[in-house]
């Protein structure tokens, strides 16, 4: 099994504050890896590092054997795409928004590929619709089509289905799964939805206060987590920034009146 990413001693700081601190982590080629964790844990920052949008303050980030620094070669940038929680679509047609995914990477894609992707995402016939008139779920599916048109090696998803209805969540998960299965696309998905991690990921990890607290195959992560923090998070006892809320103390039974 090869690794898509190898992180070693990776730290990222903002204004002196360390928001990502990962001594060692690998993302395997062709896996779907889910990261869950409270907000402020550093999940989006880690995805930005994996997308080469920022260079880590310290440590090594290796992608397929190549160390990535400040100057990221264009051909490397093109291999990785991110879909964000709230996609920004241009004031153009749906089809134009999908094609732009390729354009900004210097590729031109014919209408057939665009139509096929729109069809897979339940958007057949939407090609000429103005993108700004779409519902949140439709817009997110367009954003996914725009990402997939370049056939990326790595698909990074940052809370891609937050606030979407089950129909849209299901459609998006199906396409992500089939892309992973058919093309071997490596997927890292950050999600608030632990059930989503369980549904689609082969491995799942908990991120808290910049650290990967636990990372295991998904079944183990959910059924026999090793770390107290994971148990607490899965139980819903963890809130923002990784603060741990201990369970309420057991009431002492009054022995006498
Ligand atoms: N560009 C930035 N400048 C300064 N601080 C940032 C920046 N981006 C994120 N942070 C801080 O880094 C921490 C982690 O943020 P983020 O990666 O967005 O967490 P998550 O995605 O897990 O909610 C937060 O405390 C956030 O305020
Ligand atoms: Mg985030």
Q: Kindly report, residue by residue over 221-233, the tens digit of the pLDDT.
A: 999 999 999 999 9
- The region of weakest confidence among 70-74, 92-96, 142-146 is 70-74
Closest by CA to 171, choosing from 180, 157, 161, is 161
Report, as an integer, the average pLDDT of 20-27.
98
Which residues neighbour 85 within 8 Å (Cβ) at sequence distance 6 or greater?
Answer: 158, 159, 160, 162
pLDDT band for 27, please (50, 70, 90 cuts).
Answer: very high
| pLDDT tens-digit readout, 150-177 | 999 999 999 999 989 999 999 999 999 9
Q: Judge if the beta carbon of residue 41 lies within 6 A of ligand 1.
A: yes
Phi, psi of 194, deg, nearest 5: -65, -25
Query: What six digits make up the tokens of 81?
Result: 């795409």
pLDDT band for 244, please (50, 70, 90 cuts).
Answer: low
pLDDT band for 250, please (50, 70, 90 cuts).
Answer: confident
CA separation for the pair 231, 1 (Å, rounded): 29
Output the pTM of the full model: 0.92
Contact 80, 156 (CB under 8 A): yes
Strands 186-190 and 32-36: parallel
Report, as an integer, the average pLDDT of 235-250.
67
CA separation for the pair 102, 124 (Å, rounded): 19
Report, as an integer, the average pLDDT of 99-127.
84
Task: Determine which residue's CA is closest to atom 10 belonging to ligand 1.
Answer: 14
Q: What is the pLDDT of residue 255?
A: 57
Buried b / exposed e along 100-119 (16+ C-beta atoms within 10 A) = bbbeebeeebeeebbbebbe
Q: Judge if the beta carbon of residue 40 lies within 6 A of ligand 1.
A: yes
Ligand 2 mean position to 44 CA, how many Å? 4
CA separation for the pair 129, 153 (Å, rounded): 29
pLDDT band for 253, please (50, 70, 90 cuts).
Answer: low
CA pseudo-torsion sign 180, 75, 123, 143: positive
pLDDT for 245 beyond 70: no
219 compared with 111, residue with greater pLDDT: 219
Q: What is the pLDDT of residue 94?
A: 97
Look up residue 131 and give its DSSP letter. Answer: G
pLDDT for 108 beyond 70: no
Task: Determine which residue's CA is closest to atom 24 belonging to ligand 1.
Answer: 40
pLDDT for 240 beyond 80: no
Cα-Cα-Cα-Cα dihedral of 34, 40, 45, 47, to 10°?
Answer: 10
pLDDT band for 46, please (50, 70, 90 cuts).
Answer: very high
Query: What six digits make up the tokens of 142?
Result: 């367009």
Find the ligand nearest to 43 CA.
1
Ligand 2 mean position to 111 CA, how many Å? 34
Closest by CA to 83, choosing from 183, 26, 16, 164, is 164
User: Which residue's entry shows tokens 């990962």?
Assistant: 22
Q: What is the pLDDT of residue 149?
A: 94
Query: What six digits make up the tokens of 252?
Result: 């002492």
pLDDT for 205 beyond 80: yes
Contact 31, 186 (CB under 8 A): yes
251 compared with 29, residue with greater pLDDT: 29
| pLDDT tens-digit readout, 75-85 | 898 899 999 98
Range among 207-211, 233-237, 244-248 rated most confident = 207-211
Q: What is the pLDDT of residue 105?
A: 62
Average pLDDT, the chain: 91
CA separation for the pair 168, 161 (Å, rounded): 8
């Amino acid at each position: 099994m090869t690794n898509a990413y190898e992180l070693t001693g990776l730290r990222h700081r903002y204004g002196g504050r360390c928001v990502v601190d990962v001594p060692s982590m690998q993302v395997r080629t062709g896996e779907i890896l889910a990261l869950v964790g409270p907000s402020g844990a550093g999940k989006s920052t880690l995805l930005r590092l994996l997308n080469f949008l920022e260079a880590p303050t310290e440590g090594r980030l290796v992608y397929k054997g190549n160390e990535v620094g400040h100057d990221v070669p264009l051909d490397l940038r093109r291999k990785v795409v991110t879909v964000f929680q709230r996609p920004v679509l241009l004031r153009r047609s749906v089809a134009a928004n999908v094609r732009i995914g390729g354009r900004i990477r210097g590729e031109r894609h014919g209408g057939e590929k665009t139509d096929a992707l729109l069809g897979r995402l339940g958007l057949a016939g939407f090609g000429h619709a103005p993108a700004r008139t779409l519902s949140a779920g439709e817009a997110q599916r367009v954003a996914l089509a725009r990402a997939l048109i370049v056939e990326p090696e790595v698909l990074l998803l940052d809370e891609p289905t937050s606030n979407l209805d089950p129909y849209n969540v299901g459609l998006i998960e199906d396409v992500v799964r089939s892309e992973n299965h058919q093309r071997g696309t490596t997927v890292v998905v950050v999600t608030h939805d632990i059930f989503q991690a369980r549904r689609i990921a082969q491995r799942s990890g908990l991120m808290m206060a910049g650290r990967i607290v636990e990372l295991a195959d998904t079944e183990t992560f959910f059924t026999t987590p090793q770390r107290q923090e994971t148990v607490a998070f899965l139980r819903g006892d963890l809130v923002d920034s990784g603060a741990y809320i201990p369970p309420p103390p057991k009431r002492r039974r009054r022995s006498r009146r």
